[in-house]
């Protein structure tokens, strides 16, 4: 460096001109707004996390045994059957001895649970008929009974009688069905002979308690992602407009797992984890100003804003042979969906309408992969120096899930869904906010855990 | 000079510490911005951008180097980025300035800072950018080439032309600091 340059540089090193006070006020405002934004964002994340945890705890609470404080622990034994036998009311109605002997003792020494209900799990239409209290639809066909699951032997018969009225009244509250057999026992005049003839299932069927059905689902899928960039402040509006016009996401492929619970009430809750590889596309004319802006922008977005060396290398792309008009960039994200659904069934199919939240963690771990006819080396080199980046977003999700039952525990699922942005991806120092609307289709395999 | 403890406290987000740093460096930073900017309003915007960037990334300063040097680089980067938004690079190739005099009797470094600023302000954008980066901010031609996406030889030629133009301003005797100091007033 020339001597004259050194003098000049030294001279300016210490030279100072006081800026107007308004500059500090503007800086202070921006620092405050960023902190507020970050605070709000962090709070939303906390709320989401807490909501997820509460949801899972609720699932666990509903799923596992809740001992009722107002119902004593009882067990079925021959004594209670004998007592029942002596009860004329009962013996007039059904063959208690057969009921008493029906299912063995192994299921019976359990506490009676408040949440426990007796229900038919396979064919609810038949249940409804069987539950008819007027006796008009009295079971006359043993085949119908076979489709039902009877739980008479789960309770001492005397208690059944005491509880019958309230149980019947809970019929079709949610998806809980009262055993029609109990209803018949309690209200219909059925002779012992009729009982033996018409209700063999009462004797033979195992108990099925109403219980939550847990499932594990492995899925894969594809998404079209429509991306919109928004400027955090008005001064970056043009920047956002340019990028919106020159870049767009085209697709993602993904895979993951879900664990969920179907409640007897038809409601369900599921949470999971999935990986998504997102590929986006630049679509701009070579050497146009927008192309240049876009390339600068993508580096800025995913490179370290603190590292000016990286950001401006992108401009080289226009001069070093980016001959193609498309550049692909590959990103990675981990997503945590949680969703609540309502199900209904048709033969062989369980259909679930759901809404939920999807929190995504975006990682940018390695270089841009460019599909270039020209020199791609520069692009890859420019990005290899980038540290990983992380951004977080949150989308609202809704969709419909079709589960085709292969057998009692295995189903194939198909799930079209849409995600609508609530909180966009952004680094705190970056002037743009990225909101993704996702249209996806997932295919999966669902295994019933119990 | 800001004490390291102040920097540490500022890294925790303490607003008073941040203000101390701002007060200490704002004047010098404003000079950097004025050197790069075409208008005073632009310089104020650059200053704002630069400081926001400094304070958002202050945690990344690891005390291995000089804090003011780090801030200067961030500020210069903010200036270049600001200029980038207005497509400064398109006019980095200026038409040849043919009537340059190289035998000016005046040595530029002997001028006052304000006079030099006024001279620099008269340079075309491309010349000004390279001159500032090379002479006053200590970037070498390779770094300038990388940042501006030009070749090193282009950077060199821009610098030569900038020097010649500055000398010609002096040599032509048409340099009247009082008339061109609007930017710094």
Residue B124, min C-alpha distance to chain A (Å) = 20
Nearest Cα neighbor of A325 from A383, A371, A361, A273 is: A371
Cβ neighbourhood burial of A47 (10 Å; 0-12, 13-18, 19+): exposed
What is d(CA B168, CA B108) in angstroms, rounded to the nearest whole number?
11
Maximum distance among all alpha carbons in chain B?
Answer: 55
Residue A260, min C-alpha distance to chain B (Å) = 41
Q: Give A-chain residues touching B31 at CB under 8 angstroms.
A: 12, 15-17
Yes or no, beta carbons of A15 and B52 under 8 Å apart? no
Q: Give A-chain residues touching B91 at CB under 8 angstroms.
A: none
Tell whether the model's pLDDT for residue B177 goes beyond 90.
no
Nearest Cα residue in chain B from A3: B109
Count other C-beta atoms under 10 Å from residue A357's C-beta: 21
Q: What DSSP state is assigned to residue B136?
A: I
Nearest Cα residue in chain B from A309: B147
Cβ neighbourhood burial of A90 (10 Å; 0-12, 13-18, 19+): buried
Class of the A212-448 domain? mainly beta
CA angle, A38 then A41 then A43, to 5°: 110
Q: Give B-chain residues touching A30 at CB under 8 angstroms.
A: 48, 52
Give tens-digit pLDDT for B21-67.
999 999 999 999 998 888 888 888 899 989 998 998 888 888 888 88
Strands A389-405 and A349-364 come out as antiparallel
Q: Give B-chain residues touching A8 at CB under 8 angstroms.
A: 108-109, 116, 135-136
Q: Give B-chain residues touching A309 at CB under 8 angstroms.
A: 146-147
Q: Give B-chain residues touching A15 at CB under 8 angstroms.
A: 28, 31, 113
Q: Of B86, B117, B136, which one is at a domain's C-terminal end?
A: B86
Do residues A218 and A169 make contact, with C-beta atoms less than 8 angstroms apart?
no
Q: Of B64, B86, B108, which one is at a domain's C-terminal end?
A: B86
The reply to whether B132 and B167 lie within a common domain is yes
The reply to whether B103 and B58 lie within a common domain is no
The reply to whether B94 and B167 lie within a common domain is yes
pLDDT of B47 reads 92
Yes or no, beta carbons of A9 and B138 under 8 Å apart? yes
The reply to whether B59 and B117 lie within a common domain is no
pLDDT of A266 reads 82
Do residues A435 and A395 make contact, with C-beta atoms less than 8 angstroms apart?
no
The reply to whether B72 and B110 lie within a common domain is no
Nearest Cα residue in chain A from B112: A11
The reply to whether B115 and B141 lie within a common domain is yes
Nearest Cα neighbor of A390 from A427, A444, A337 is: A427
- The ranges of chain A annotated as CATH 2.40.160.20 are 212-448
- The CATH number that applies at residue B35 is 1.10.1740.10
The reply to whether B57 and B95 lie within a common domain is no
124-153 in chain B: CB under 8 A from chain A: 134-136, 138, 146-149
Yes or no, beta carbons of B149 and A239 under 8 Å apart? no
B123 to chain A, any CB pair closer than 8 A? The answer is no
Q: Which residues contact B137 (CB under 8 A, 6 or more apart)?
A: B32, B72, B76
Q: What is the 3-state secondary structure (H, E, C) of A283-345?
A: ECCCCCHHHHHHHHHHHHHHCCCCCHHHHHHHHHHHCCCCCCCEEEEEEEEEEEEEEEEEEEE
What is d(CA A386, CA A302) in angstroms, rounded to the nearest whole number?
8
Helix (H) or strand (E) holding A229: strand A213-231
Yes or no, beta carbons of B52 and A30 under 8 Å apart? yes
What is d(CA A72, CA B77) in angstroms, rounded to the nearest whole number?
76
Point out which residues pair with A229 in neighbouring strands: A434
Residue B128, min C-alpha distance to chain A (Å) = 15
Q: Give A-chain residues touching B84 at CB under 8 angstroms.
A: 296, 312, 315
Give tens-digit pLDDT for B103-153.
444 566 677 888 888 888 888 888 888 888 998 888 888 888 877 777 888
The reply to whether B45 and B106 lie within a common domain is no
Query: Which of A15, A29, A319 should be substituted to probe chain B, the one whose Cβ sees the most B Cβ atoms within 10 Å?
Result: A15
Nearest Cα residue in chain A from B184: A17
The reply to whether B157 and B129 lie within a common domain is yes
The reply to whether B13 and B82 lie within a common domain is yes
What is d(CA A312, CA A320) in angstroms, rounded to the nearest whole number?
14
The reply to whether B127 and B45 lie within a common domain is no
Residue A258, helix vs strand vs coil: strand
Q: Give B-chain residues touching A31 at CB under 8 angstroms.
A: 15, 18, 52, 55-56
Q: Of B86, B117, B146, which one is at a domain's C-terminal end?
A: B86
pLDDT of A176 reads 28
pLDDT of A252 reads 84
Yes or no, beta carbons of B77 and A239 under 8 Å apart? no
Yes or no, beta carbons of B30 and A316 under 8 Å apart? no
Q: What DSSP state is assigned to residue A153?
A: G
The number of C-alpha atoms within 13 Å of A116 and in the hemisphere containing its C-beta is: 21
Residue A28, helix vs strand vs coil: helix
Residues of chain A where predicted confidence (pLDDT) is lower than 70: 1, 33-49, 52, 55-56, 58-211, 239, 242-243, 245-250, 280-330, 363-390, 427-430, 450
Give tens-digit pLDDT for B86-117.
444 444 444 444 444 444 445 666 778 888 88
Do residues A254 and A220 make contact, with C-beta atoms less than 8 angstroms apart?
yes
| Per-residue pLDDT band at B81 (split at 50, 70, 90) | confident
pLDDT of A338 reads 94
- The CATH number that applies at residue B102 is 1.10.10.10
Nearest Cα residue in chain A from B29: A16
Yes or no, beta carbons of A309 and B85 under 8 Å apart? no
CA angle, A57 then A62 then A64, to 5°: 95
pLDDT of B172 reads 56
Total domains, chain B: 2
B56 to chain A, any CB pair closer than 8 A? The answer is yes
Q: What are the DSSP calls for B34-77, one per residue?
A: HHH-SSHHHHHHHHHHHHHHHHHSGGG--SSS-HHHHHHHHHHH
Give tens-digit pLDDT for A245-254.
666 666 788 8
The reply to whether B108 and B95 lie within a common domain is yes
Across the interface, of A239, A306, A312, the residue whose CB is closest to B57 is A306
- Indicate the length of chain B as a whole number: 185
Note down the domain range covering B129: 90-184
């Amino acid at each position: 460096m020339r001597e004259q340059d050194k003098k000049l540089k030294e001279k300016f090193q210490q030279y100072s001109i006081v800026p107007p006070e308004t500059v500090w006020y503007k800086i202070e405002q921006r620092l405050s707004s960023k902190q507020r934004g970050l605070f709000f964002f962090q709070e939303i994340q906390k709320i989401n996390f807490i909501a997820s945890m509460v949801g899972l705890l609720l699932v666990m609470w509903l799923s596992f045994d809740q001992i009722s404080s107002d119902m004593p622990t009882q067990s079925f034994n021959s004594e209670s059957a004998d007592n029942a036998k002596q009860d004329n009311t009962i013996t007039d109605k059904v063959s208690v001895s057969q009921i008493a002997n029906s299912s063995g003792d192994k299921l019976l020494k359990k506490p009676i649970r408040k949440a426990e209900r007796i229900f038919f799990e396979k064919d609810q239409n038949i249940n409804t008929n069987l539950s008819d209290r007027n006796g008009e639809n009295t079971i006359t066909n043993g085949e119908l009974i076979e489709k039902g699951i009877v739980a008479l032997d789960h309770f001492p018969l005397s208690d059944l009688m005491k509880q019958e009225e309230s149980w019947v009244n809970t019929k079709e509250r949610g998806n809980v069905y009262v055993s029609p057999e109990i209803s018949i026992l309690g209200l219909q005049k059925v002779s012992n002979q009729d009982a033996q003839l018409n209700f063999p299932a009462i004797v033979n069927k195992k108990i099925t308690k109403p219980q939550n059905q847990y499932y594990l689902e492995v899925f894969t899928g594809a998404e079209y992602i429509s991306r919109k960039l928004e400027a955090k402040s008005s001064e970056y509006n043009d920047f956002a407009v340019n990028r919106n016009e020159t870049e767009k996401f085209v697709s993602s492929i993904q895979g993951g797992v879900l664990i969920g619970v179907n409640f007897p009430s038809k409601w369900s809750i599921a949470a999971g984890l999935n990986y998504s590889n997102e590929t986006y596309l630049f679509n701009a004319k070579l050497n146009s100003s927008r192309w240049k802006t876009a390339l600068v922008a993508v580096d800025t977005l995913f490179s370290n804003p603190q590292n000016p060396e990286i950001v401006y290398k992108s401009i080289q792309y226009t001069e070093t042979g980016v001959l193609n008009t498309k550049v692909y960039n590959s990103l990675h994200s981990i997503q945590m969906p949680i969703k609540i659904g309502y199900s209904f069934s048709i033969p062989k199919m369980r259909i679930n309408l759901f809404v939920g939240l999807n929190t995504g963690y975006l990682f940018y771990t390695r270089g841009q992969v460019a599909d270039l006819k020209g020199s791609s080396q520069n692009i890859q080199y420019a990005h290899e120096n980038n540290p990983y980046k992380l951004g977080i977003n949150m989308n609202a999700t809704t969709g419909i899930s079709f589960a085709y039952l292969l057998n009692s525990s295995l189903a194939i699922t198909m799930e079209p869904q849409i995600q609508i942005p609530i909180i966009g991806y952004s680094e705190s120092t970056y002037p743009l906010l990225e909101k993704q609307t996702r249209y996806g289709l997932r295919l999966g395999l669902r295994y019933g855990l119990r | 000079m800001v004490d390291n403890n102040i920097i540490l406290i500022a890294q925790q987000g303490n607003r008073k510490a941040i203000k101390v740093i701002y007060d200490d460096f704002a004047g010098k930073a404003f000079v950097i911005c004025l050197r790069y900017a075409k208008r005073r309003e632009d310089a104020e915007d650059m200053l704002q951008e630069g400081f926001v960037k400094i304070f958002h990334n202050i945690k990344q300063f690891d005390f291995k180097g000089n804090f003011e040097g780090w801030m200067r680089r961030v500020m210069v980067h903010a200036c270049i980025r600001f200029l980038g938004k207005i497509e400064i690079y398109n006019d980095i190739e200026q038409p040849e300035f043919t009537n340059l005099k190289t035998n000016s009797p005046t040595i530029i470094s002997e001028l006052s800072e304000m006079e030099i600023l006024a001279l620099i302000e008269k340079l075309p954008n491309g010349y000004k950018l390279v001159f500032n980066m090379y002479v006053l901010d200590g970037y070498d031609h390779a770094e300038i080439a990388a940042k501006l996406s030009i070749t090193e030889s282009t950077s060199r030629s821009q610098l030569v032309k900038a020097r010649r133009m500055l000398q010609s301003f002096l040599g032509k005797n048409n340099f009247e600091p009082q008339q061109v100091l609007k930017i710094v007033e």
